[in-house]
Structure 1
Amino acid sequence: MSGRRALRRRTGILCAFVLAALAVGTGIVAASNVAVGLSEQSGETSVPAWLYLATGGGVIGASALMTMLVIDRDVIASYHDDTVVFPTARLEAVGSLLLGTLGVAALVFIVVVGLVGPQLGNFSAAVLLTLVGGRALLTIIAYTVGSPWRALNPWRRIALFLPNGDATYPAWLGSWPAVGTLLALIWLELLMPLSSSARALAVVVLAYSALTIAGAVTFSPETWFRNGDPISVWFRLYGAVAPLQRTDDGLEVRYPGSRLGDDDVVTDVSLVAFVLVLVWELTYSGFIATEPGVRTVELLVALGIPPQIVYLGLLLAGFVLFWTVYWFAAAITRKRAETRLSRRYLALRFAPPLLAIAAGYHFAHYIGFSISLWPSLVDTMAAPLNPPENPTQYALTSWFGYVEIAGILIGHILAVWISHAVSFELFPGKLQAIRSQYPFIVVMVFFTMVTLYLFSMPATEPVYVPG
């Protein structure tokens, strides 16, 4: 009982630190630096940037120090192990049929409306359903409640009705096809006017459908959508952050993020890469929509490099940087902990907590975007071929930036706690477990300060981007 009281007391202190960080950020209207061309928030800082950056980084550092004071293994294990299971066999069968039908209908709707309906993004139900309903809101639901994608996935539903499974999926491929395809999609989002041309979006959706259904038919839907399909891997990993989890026994309710401490979330190096792409792509989309990013692109283009290659180079260079830093941290962790566990195994176990950081980044980027454009989605869905002349948009209040910054900080704090729990599971010695966390805490503090720095800047349009 004393351990739990201490945990509650330290949690209260940590909340005070978070509130202090938000208070220091008075006057910040954080920008959702989303390069989708549908909505743009601008922000400015009324206090020195270094002050709230230091405070934000300090919150993560302070939370790490207080977390390390929690050394009662029973308290740590209770957060990971406490669950409530609800048998849902019949509900799951009915829900899978309904959601699967809804998913196929949504796919057909996006393609048809995208090809024959209004073409401007703010007036196109196809564009708004894809970017606001899918990329933003459905992902937020995946990590705050639970991922419905397995049942909703239209391509899985279609592939199940086709002959499949003749080829054996090579084990060495892992999830590398999903990693490569996700990077390609991020790049294509910049090269093609997907947010301003519904027809271009429909063409990309058709091409993606052909690719992923071909993969499912070749290797079987279960294998392909677990390993090779980037959207399925995206929702599966984001869904691991949520309190609601699907198991063989039914639906399981857990503490938020506790699933990230399991050893079956990230099982190979390719999934480590996918996790790092999730973190990097949000940082990347923020960087290219700020003044430093624009200046960097313009400088490289002035040197004679085509803008398409510049954006691809920045995307890959940032990913390689994140990859290098992460594996360096894993090597330092192995050295400091003086363990026989391999660097690879440590990298696999400490990668899932980064999903909490990715969820915080995603929330900060897309929650304002979703709220602002939600009425437009409803208006255009009601009359997809003849939408209103001025679809409704909500204006965000001046204090909404606090919500976005809080999302970043909460994601990082949850990542720190899960890393702490993982270290105590891996290492028998308390001091050994604490020492093993230092390299990853440093990386998390760095991520926090970089992200808050990007959010402090007014958003601008990425240069050389269609639409």
Structure 2
Amino acid sequence: MARIALAAGLVVAGAGAALAHATEGGLVLLLPTDVYTAAGAAAVALTVVLMAVLPERVASWLFTPLTLVPLPLTRLPQITSMLVALVFLSLVWTGLSGPRDPMENPLTLGIWTGFWIILVTVQGLAFDIWRWVNPWLGPAAMLRGLGVRQMLPLPVRLGYAPAILTFLAFAAFLMADPAPADPERLARFGGLYWLLNLVAVLVFGPRWLGRGEGITLLMRSYARMSIMTRRAGRLALGLSGWQVLRTRVPRGGWAGFMLVILACGSFDGVNETFWWLNVLGLNPLEFPGRSAVVWQNLAGLLAANVLLVAIFAATIKAGLLLNQSPLKLREAVRLFAPTILPIALGYHIAHYYSAFLVEGQYLWVMIEGLVGIPHEGPGHAHHITTGFFNTTDSMRRIWLTQAGAVVLGHVTAVILAHAVALRVFGTARRALLSQAPLALFMIAYTFFGLWLLASPRGL
């Protein structure tokens, strides 16, 4: 029971922020956020100090899962996947023929709020929901049942490069397209993305979804942070991150992809700030529109990825040198890249929390309409409000919730990285030496993440 209570209390450490939302907003947060930022970074720093004296058996115990009820395999996900694919195609049609208002079109709310904010969070915090809603599994299985067979093997030498490229294409649409929330533009991009990847699955086989399709690999990565999974035929429950220690070390390309997740999530916050607009030489109070910064945002997205990968590799290399370890850099990156997933997920949740508070209401109203509850009159069950943005107290609670997700994500990352280091290097002293540069990186990234949350936004 103590382990379950601890897991429940710290599960938020796997939390994150979403990467896309239906509406853009400009919000200047007039709170004493410098105090909160310093306190958050101090909490991460104290966690690093705690790791220095934490016995190995305690670190191991923290990430030991509980084995619960039997959980048999089922083919039901193929059926639910087919249903989700049909729903997605109907949403694409609605995007092409329905209302142009993103807050009234089911496609925009379904993709950016239902999928990108809600499902990604559930995937990282709770369980592998993507296995049930992947829109390619069902259609591919149906076509194979009709006699369609794999045409070509997926070249091994490509590794995970196709998944990185397709995910970057998705991120580029989100961050650089002039109007990613426009239902028609979203329908054309989403429909084409789905169709091309379905064709790729038919040509290269199911392996494409694991190595070539970026959204699926993103969800597989975040599944390693979920607290529940099927293990040895039974339901297993543990502290967020426990699966990282009990699954195979990712291949080099997959480890690189995990760094891309964090880099894209970070730039998704940076490209909305006054600071970024100032770098581009634009007055945020006279913003000319997203169409004026398409190429600049594309360049910034690529630069953010290159910079983060380089910094992470440098911190890992510095730790190996301090520890005088014979471990090769490539192998060390593979080992420690999964430990940054709590940071990416934590910022994902924090970044989109305010968007969820508003757009989640619109999504709920849309669902009410689908089940026959009227939007107006005596039977109306929900009133959309943004009043929580109008008072200092409510804004303080919102920001503290966001900051808590970021800080807990970093704390989990520090503990998880220390547990991995103990397993690799054997002693607490060697583990601490190897983790010192990475710990400094995580503390600095805490400051960065909290600064992003508090920075004025101009888009």
When normalised by structure 2's length, the TM-score is 0.85
Q: Matched residues, percent identical?
A: 22
1:228 matched to 2:209: no
Inter-partner Cα distance in structure 2 for 1:60 and 1:346: 22
Inter-partner Cα distance in structure 1 for 2:197 and 2:61: 40
Inter-partner Cα distance in structure 1 for 2:383 and 2:298: 34
- Note the C-alpha offset of 1:181: 1.4
Inter-partner Cα distance in structure 2 for 1:248 and 1:216: 28
Q: For 1:79, give the aligned amino acid.
A: L
- 1:170-217 residue CA offsets vs partner (Å, 9 max, x unmatched): 222221111111112111224435544211111111110121112111
- Note the C-alpha offset of 1:35: 6.5
Aligned residues: 428
- Note the C-alpha offset of 1:85: 4.2
- 1:301-333 residue CA offsets vs partner (Å, 9 max, x unmatched): 99xx97322111111111111010011111111
Native 8 Å contact 1:376 1:393 kept in 2: no
Which structure 2 residues correspond to residues 37-186 of structure 1 after superposition, within 5 A? 37-38=22-23, 40=25, 42-47=27-32, 49=34, 51-71=35-55, 73-89=56-72, 92-94=74-76, 96-162=77-143, 163-186=148-171
Change (3 A) 1:458 1:278: same
Inter-partner Cα distance in structure 2 for 1:344 and 1:373: 42
Q: Counterpart of 1:307?
A: 293
Q: Counterpart of 1:24?
A: none
When normalised by structure 1's length, the TM-score is 0.84
Query: Which of 386-395 and 278-287 deviates more?
Result: 386-395
Q: Counterpart of 1:392?
A: 384
Native 8 Å contact 1:275 1:355 kept in 2: yes
Inter-partner Cα distance in structure 2 for 1:82 and 1:310: 45
Which structure 2 residues correspond to residues 39-438 of structure 1 after superposition, within 5 A? 40=25, 42-47=27-32, 49=34, 51-71=35-55, 73-89=56-72, 92-94=74-76, 96-162=77-143, 163-221=148-206, 223-247=207-231, 249-262=233-246, 264=248, 266-298=249-281, 307-383=293-369, 392-396=384-388, 397-398=394-395, 399-438=397-436
Change (3 A) 1:48 1:430: closer
Inter-partner Cα distance in structure 2 for 1:48 and 1:418: 28
For the residue of structure 1 that corresponds to 2:314, the secondary structure is helix
Native 8 Å contact 1:110 1:125 kept in 2: yes
For the residue of structure 2 that corresponds to 1:245, the secondary structure is strand
Q: For 1:410, give the aligned amino acid.
A: L
Q: For 2:139, give the aligned amino acid.
A: I
- 1:400-452 residue CA offsets vs partner (Å, 9 max, x unmatched): 21111000000000000001100110012321111111011011011111111
For the residue of structure 2 that corresponds to 1:298, the secondary structure is coil
Q: Counterpart of 2:442?
A: 444
Structure 2: gaps (5+ residues): 377-381, 389-393
- Report 1 or 2 for greater relative contact order, CA contacts < 8 Å, sequence distance ≥ 6: 2
Which structure 2 residues correspond to residues 444-463 of structure 1 after superposition, within 5 A? 444-461=442-459
Inter-partner Cα distance in structure 2 for 1:260 and 1:344: 18
Native 8 Å contact 2:65 2:242 kept in 1: no
- Note the C-alpha offset of 1:383: 4.4
Inter-partner Cα distance in structure 2 for 1:253 and 1:44: 38
* Aligned alpha-carbon RMSD (Å): 3.0
For the residue of structure 2 that corresponds to 1:213, the secondary structure is helix
Inter-partner Cα distance in structure 2 for 1:114 and 1:380: 14
- 1:331-365 residue CA offsets vs partner (Å, 9 max, x unmatched): 11111121222111111111111001011001101
